[in-house]
Structure 1
Amino acid sequence: MPNAFNQGIIDEFRANKGRLTGHFENARLLLLTTAGARTGTRHTTPVGYLPDGGDRVLIIASAGGSPRHPDWYRNLLADPQVTVESGSFTYEARAVVLAGEERERAWARAVETDPGWAAYQEKTTRLIPVVALSAIPQGGPPNVNASSLSEGMKVVHDAFRRELALIRQEMRNGNGSTLGVQLRVNCLTFCQGLHNHHTGEDTMLFPHIGAQHPSAEPTLERLREEHERIAVLVAELQRAVSADATDPAAARAEVERLTLDLEAHLTYEEKELLPLLDSAAS
């Protein structure tokens, strides 16, 4: 059973689809559920994470610099299959403890983003582990934390809005002369996720809606065209953050351009499609 502090975070996280208030409002957190190493009892813990591209995220077993590894880390050593709740999605993942140069590169990115990780390492003689969580492929659509298609669309859209807001804030908080390695990864991970989402809409959701509501075809065609325009902006952002000599000002400008177009697109899509999805469910 989580302690009262963690349970409060878990309850708020689940109730608000990953959105938190107070100290953790601008933090990247997920809920990690592991099987107890001795009992097999499942335990859920809020854990900070770093995007790592694609379907992989990194978590760090700091335990605040404690001399002992956290319980969740000992659990996943015994059973590396874990459950991850991102707020918008719940999925099974496989945990792999990073070692050697791969661990050092990931650790350097984490410390560059938040020097607090280095402070934790200074407090303990153990080498703080970095763990990669890779989603286990499953058949069919992803498991969205929603009770209907319309709620699912809003949950996913809000997750993109929140991640883009975090990236914009991280760019504003930068030193102005360089773009951090982890911030580049955050941008590229966001771009890939948005591409995957729009591909799924184009190939699965929109044909489903079109078959149910033929009169919506002009709306769907406009949304497809907006997907193409947003794809161009995503490609520009990818180029801006992947360049050998990244210009932070240019990257910020691309993020702002993408933000304006994406918010307009998401708002229009919700206005036009949520009522259709609700009517199909009634």
Structure 2
Amino acid sequence: MPSDFDPYDFNRRVIDEFRANHGRVGGPFEGGRLLLLTTTGARTGTPHTTPVGYLPDGGDRVLVIASAGGSPRHPDWYRNLLAHPRVTVESGVFTYEARAVVLAGDERDQAFARAVEADPGWAEYQRKAGRVIPVVALERIAGPGPGHIEAGSPGEAIRLVHDAFRRELALVRQETADGGSSLGAQLRVNCLTLCQGLDNHHAGEDTMMFPFLAERHPEFAPVRERLRREHERIAVLVEELRRAVAAEDRDGARAEVVRLTEELEAHLAYEEEQLVPLLDGAARRSSR
């Protein structure tokens, strides 16, 4: 590492790129799972934002690991959240408040073992650190809706959510293609978290957005019916993926992820083609 390396400047550039591109960054974080974590300074009381890699953990929580690259000292963001457990999380699409919970005992050890199984680099960090590296769950604090979206229009919001699913599908597809014949524990969690996210997203569209549009745009009925049928088809594929994961069948899971990716990509493209102009046109008319 260059002697003039400035970690604060590096973090600032990553943060700016992350926000400008809705979670997409290059460099060492390219293609990985990254979030922005804003904590409150333990001594200063001022907000501090840090890019942090994360692991899916199902439901409304993700895991972050306070490795500090194998440093013998805990990172500043970890000391901050010990003092102030309420944090802000930016996923690239959603911004939401969360509660930081430091895992302990067997729960911490099992989570860290999952991380090591997925990426042996965590074990090297643990060896170098000479301390027990903490694992922290970020539990979303319940509120109305899925969280704030930094989007300029309803149509852009849909595209951003869809892009988040595209990125996660690409990661899971690569993960199922790598390695041996069995599914690791973290990969199983990744697959099941993706399945749950798709279920929740389509349920929200079916029960909230589609009825809203049907009431105001009766001409939307044929599109809505096609999208509803596609939701049912994707639900079948999601259930097949769950079965393969439950059986710890990596080949089966790989095949189901490929099928899901192909059909979901076509569905998302059609939905964007049909809904983005409709939603953005309605938003423009209501703002006049």
TM-score by shorter chain over 0.5: yes
- Does residue 1:253 correspond to 2:255, yes or no? yes
Q: Which runs of 5+ in 1 are unaligned?
A: none
Distance, in Å, in 1 between the alignment partners of 2:99 and 2:73 is 23
CA contact (8 A) 1:2 1:43 kept: no
Q: Which runs of 5+ in 2 are unaligned?
A: 1-5
- Does residue 1:154 correspond to 2:159, yes or no? yes
Distance, in Å, in 2 between the alignment partners of 1:28 and 1:203 is 30
Distance, in Å, in 2 between the alignment partners of 1:36 and 1:58 is 20
Q: Deviations over 1:121-172 (max 9, x none)?
A: 1112211000000100002453222122101000000000000000111122
Task: Tell me what 1:55 maps to.
Answer: 60
Q: Deviations over 1:1-26 (max 9, x none)?
A: 97111111101111111111233211
Aligned residues: 279
CA contact (8 A) 2:94 2:146 kept: no
- Does residue 1:125 correspond to 2:127, yes or no? no
Q: Deviations over 1:98-118 (max 9, x none)?
A: 000000100000001111111
Distance, in Å, in 1 between the alignment partners of 2:246 and 2:13 is 39
- The CA RMSD over aligned residues, in Å, is 1.2
Which consecutive segments of 4 or more residues in structure 1 shift more than 6 A?
Answer: none
Task: Tell me what 2:85 maps to.
Answer: 80
1:215 to 211, 215, 219: 219
2:97 to 89, 92, 96: 92
Task: Tell me what 2:197 maps to.
Answer: 193
Q: Which moved more, 1:212-221 or 1:17-26?
A: 17-26
SS in 2 for 1:123: helix
Distance, in Å, in 1 between the alignment partners of 2:121 and 2:262 is 33
1:116 to 121, 125, 140: 121
Distance, in Å, in 1 between the alignment partners of 2:146 and 2:212 is 13
Distance, in Å, in 2 between the alignment partners of 1:255 and 1:172 is 10
CA contact (8 A) 1:167 1:187 kept: yes
Q: Deviations over 1:226-275 (max 9, x none)?
A: 101100100010111012xx221111000011111100100000001100
Post-superposition offset of 1:207? 1.3
Distance 1:141 1:131, change over 3 A: closer
Distance, in Å, in 2 between the alignment partners of 1:158 and 1:14 is 15
Task: Tell me what 2:230 maps to.
Answer: 226
Task: Tell me what 2:30 maps to.
Answer: 25
Tell me the amino acid that sits aligned with residue 200 of structure 2: N
CA contact (8 A) 1:2 1:44 kept: no
SS in 1 for 2:63: strand
- Does residue 1:43 correspond to 2:48, yes or no? yes
Task: Tell me what 1:273 maps to.
Answer: 275
TM-score by length of 1: 0.97
SS in 2 for 1:83: strand
Distance, in Å, in 2 between the alignment partners of 1:24 and 1:142 is 24
Tell me the amino acid that sits aligned with residue 127 of structure 1: V
CA contact (8 A) 2:38 2:88 kept: yes
Distance, in Å, in 2 between the alignment partners of 1:51 and 1:234 is 17
SS in 2 for 1:127: coil
Distance, in Å, in 2 between the alignment partners of 1:126 and 1:21 is 30
Q: Deviations over 1:189-245 (max 9, x none)?
A: 0000010000110111111111221101110111011101100100010111012xx
Distance, in Å, in 1 between the alignment partners of 2:229 and 2:7 is 47
Task: Tell me what 1:173 maps to.
Answer: 178
